Structure 1
Amino acid sequence: MKPVTLKQIAEQLGISVTTVSKALKDYPDVSKKTKKLVKQLAETLNYKPNSFAVTLRTKESKTIGLIIPEVVHHFFSNVIKGIIAQAEKKGYLVIILQSNESYDLEKQQIELLLSKRVDGVLISLANATGDYKHLNDLIAQEVPLVMFDKIAKIVNCSKVIINDRKAAYTATKHLIDIGCKRIAHFRGPLLPQNSIDRFLGYKQALIDHNITYDPSLVYICDCSIKSFEEGKQSANQLLKDHSDVDGIFINTDLVAIGAMTEFQRHGIKIPEDIAIVGFSNWFMSSVISPTLSTIDQPGYQMGKEAFKLLYKEMKNKKQNLPIEYKTVELETGLIERESTKKN
C-alpha cells in the first residue's frame, strides 16, 4: 500500500491540505473539533509524516551518525549507552556504524551519513586512520563533528578525551611504588593518539623514577577484536625475551586478561612474579582471578558529554550562531586489585 498523504486526508474531510497540516501540529488557529477529526482520520489511515519532506522543510533530520571501531566492546558499549540516553531526551535517532578499525570503511561511512543528511557526527577513529581529509571535508560542509576517545589533534573540531598520558603515568608509577624494577609495556598500534600518549606516559614514569627505558620491553598489540589472543602471544614472547620482567602496564584490559591467562598457564604467579595493570576497567577485570588492577575509563560519561557538545553545535547551526570548538577532558582513576597487591 502506498503511504497516506495529507492531500488524501484533506479530500476525505473536505478541508485544505494546509488545515490538515496545521491540525496535526496543534496550531492555535485550527478549531479543537477540526483537530480531533483530522487526528482520528490520520490514525485510522495509519498516516506517517514524510521524513524526507520534513528534513527538507526544517533543514534537520533529527538523526546523528555514530562511528566507532567496535560495537562489541565493553568501553564502546558504555559510550553508546551514554550517547543514546542523551539523544533520546532530545528526540534524536542514532545511526551506529562500526569501522572495524578500517580507514577505508570509515571514509565510506562518513559518505553514507552525509547521504542520509544526518545533523551531526560523533566518531572515535579507527586505528588505521592517518589521513583526515574525509573529516575535514565533513567540517567544510558545515556538518557538526565531535571526536571522542581516539581523536586527531590536528582536526579542528570539538573533542571529549581523557588524559591518556597522565593515566598511563599513574599506572606505571603504581607498579614502581610496589617495587617493580623491570617494567614492560604492551602498547597499542603506532598510529592512534591515545596509544601514543599511553606509551609516552609509561616512558616518562620510568625516566622520572630513574629506571632506564628499554625499547625491547615494549610490545605492540593491534588492540582489535583479537585482543585476548594478542595478549597471550605477547606474554609468550615476553617470557622468551625477558625472564626478569616483574611488572607490565598493558594498553587495554582484554589484552591484559589474555596475558594473565598465558602467564598462569606457564606457572607464573600474579602478582608475586609479575604485577599487571590494565586500562579501561572492563567488567571482566573485577571477576577474573586474580582480579585486575586497571585505569577506570568513564565510557558512559564520555558518551553523554560527546552528545552534549554535538547537540549544542547543531542547535547553534540551526540558529545561525557561531560554533565554538571545545575539548572536554574527563577524569580517570587507578583501581587497585589483586594483580598488583604484592605481600
Structure 2
Amino acid sequence: MKPVSLKQIAKELGISITTVSKALNDYPDVSEKTRKKVKDLALKLDYSPNSFALGLRKNESKTLGLIIPDNVHYFFSSVIKGILEVAEKHDYLVIVMQSNEDYELEKKQVDLLISKGVAGILISLSNRTHIFDHLNKIINNGIPLLLFDKISKNVNCSKVFIDDRKSAYEAVSYLIKKGYKRIAHFRGDLNPQNSIDRFLGYKKALADNNIEFDPSLVYLCNNNSDFEDGYNSAKKLISDHQGNVDALFTVNDLLAIGAIKYFNQNNIKIPEQIALMGFSNWFMASVITPALTTVEQNGFEMGKKAADILFHEINCIRKGISYEPQKVVIPTELIFRESS
C-alpha cells in the first residue's frame, strides 16, 4: 500500500495541497476549523510526513552518515548503539555504511553521503586509509566531520578515541608485574594509528621494566587481524620459540581468541605455560575457556560522546556560531580473567 500523500488529503477535503500543508504545520492564516478537519483526516488515514523531504524544504537534513571499517567487531556494534541512542533523542536517522577496510570504498561512501545532504558524518577509518582528501572534502562542504577510534592526526576535525599507547602500556605492565618476561605481541596493520600506538605501548612497557625488546616476538597480523590470523600466528609463535615465551599481548580480542583455540588444541596450558592479554573486551572474551583478560574500550560511551559532539557542531553551523574541533579521550580499564 502506498503511503498517504498531501494530494490525497487535499482531494478528499476539496482544498489545495498548500492549505493542507499549512494546516498540518499550524500556519496562522488557516482557520482553526480547517486545521482540525485536515488533522483529523490525516490521523484517520495514518498520514506520515516524509522526514527527508521535510528536511530539504527547511534546508535542514535530519540524517547522519556513519562509516565503520567492519561490522563483525563487537566494539563497533557497541559504538553504533551509543550513536543511535543519541541520534534518536534528536529525531535523526543514521545511514550506516561499512568500508570493509577498503580506502577506495571509503572514498565512494563519503561522496555518497555528501550527495545525500547529510547533516554530519562520523567515520572510523579503514586500515588502508593513507590519503585524506576525501575527509577534507567533507569539511570544505561545510559538513561537520568526527573521527572516532581509528583516527588521523592530519585532519582538522573533532576526534573521540582512547589512549591506545597508555592502555597497551598498562596491559603489558600488568603482565610483567605478574612475573612474565618473554611477552610476544600480535600486532595489526602497520598503517592504523591505533595499531601503531598499541605496539609502541607494548615496547615502552618492556623498556621501563628493563626487558630487552625482541623483534622476533612481534607478529604482523595484517590480513584481517581476525580469528584465523590469531590461530595461525599462535602456531608460528610456538614453532619459532619452542616454549621460550610465557605471555602474549594481542592488538584485539579476536586474535587472542584464535590463539586460545590453537593452544587448547595442542594442550598448551593457559596461563601456566603462556598467559594471554587481549584488547577490546568482546563478548566472546568472557565466554571462551579460559576467559580472556583484556582491555575494556567502552565503545558505547565512545559512540554517545561522538554523537553529542557532532550534534553540537551541527547546531553551531545552523546558528552561524563558530566552534573549535574537540579531542576527547575515552578512559579504558583492565578486565582481569583466567587467561593471566
Contact preservation (8 Å) 2:51, 2:62: no
Give, in angstroms, the shift of residue 18 of structure 1: 4.0
Aligned partners of 1:325 and 1:267: how far apart in 2? 52
C-alpha displacement of 1:317: 0.9
Asked if residue 23 in structure 1 is aligned to residue 23 in structure 2, the reply is yes
Shift, 1:29, TM fit: 5.1
How far off is 1:32 after superposition? 3.4
Which residue in the other structure is 1:120 paired with?
120
How far 1:13 sits from its partner (Å)?
3.2
Render the CA deviation track for 1:215-236: whole Å, top value 9, x for unaligned.
1111111373x61110001001
User: Partner of 2:69 in structure 1?
Assistant: 69
Report how far residue 267 of structure 1 moved: 1.7
Q: Deviations over 1:143-185 (max 9, x none)?
A: 1111100001111100111000000001100110011111111
1:240 aligns with 2:248: no
Q: Residue 136 in 1 paired to residue 136 in 2?
A: yes
Question: SS state of the match for residue 339, structure 1?
Answer: coil
Q: Which amino acid aligns with 1:228?
A: F
Which stretches in structure 1 are left out of the alignment for 5+ residues?
none
**Separation in 2, partners of 1:33, 1:203:** 75
- The letter of the residue matching 1:20 is V
Matched, 1:216 2:204: no
Taking only the aligned residue pairs, the percentage that are identical comes to 60
Q: Name 1:154's counterpart in structure 2.
A: 154
Contact 1:223 1:255 (C-alpha < 8 Å) held by counterparts: no
SS at structure 2 position matched to 1:267: coil
Letter in 1 for 2:241: H
Query: In the alignment, is the contact (CA less than 8 A) between 1:121 and 1:146 conserved in 2?
Result: yes
Within 2, Cα distance between the matches of 1:289 and 1:122?
A: 36
Report the TM-score, using the length of structure 1 for normalisation: 0.93
SS of aligned partner of 1:338:
coil
**Native 8 Å contact 2:52 2:62 kept in 1:** no
Listed as ranges, the matches of 1:1-343 within 5 Å are 6=6, 9-10=9-10, 12-28=12-28, 30-44=30-44, 47-51=47-51, 53-222=53-222, 224=224, 227-243=226-242, 244-340=244-340
Post-superposition Cα deviations, 1:235-266, rounded to whole Å, max 9, x if no partner, equal: 01101111201111111111101001101222
Q: Secondary structure at the match of 1:279?
A: coil
SS at match of 2:294: strand
Question: Tell me, what secondary structure is at the counterpart of 1:66?
Answer: strand
| Superimposed CA distance per residue, residues 111-144 of structure 1 (whole angstroms, 9 cap, x where no aligned partner) | 1111211111111011111111111111111111
SS in 1 for 2:125: coil
Aligned length: 339
Partner amino acid, structure 2, of 1:247? A
1:8-66 CA-to-partner distances (Å, cap 9, x unmatched) read 54454344544322211134554432222112333455645355542332222201111
Give secondary structure in 2 for the equivalent of 1:248. strand
Amino acid at match of 1:339: S
Cα distance in 2 between the residues matched to 1:330 and 1:177: 25
CA distance in 2 between counterparts of 1:63 and 1:53 reads 11
Report the more deviating stretch, 6-15 or 234-243: 6-15
Tell me how far apart the structure 2 counterparts of residues 279 and 28 of structure 1 sit (CA, whole Å).
59
Q: Which range is displaced more, 2-11 or 104-113? A: 2-11
Confirm or deny: 8 A CA contact 1:60 1:118 kept in the other structure.
Answer: no
Deviation at residue 4 of structure 1 after TM alignment: 5.7
* AA at the equivalent of 1:152: S
Cα distance per residue 1:253-289 (max 9 Å; x no partner): 1110100110122221111111110001111111111
Contact 1:223/1:252 (<8 A) preserved: no
For 1:239 and 1:171, locate their aligned partners in 2 and report how far apart those are by CA, in whole Å.
Answer: 22
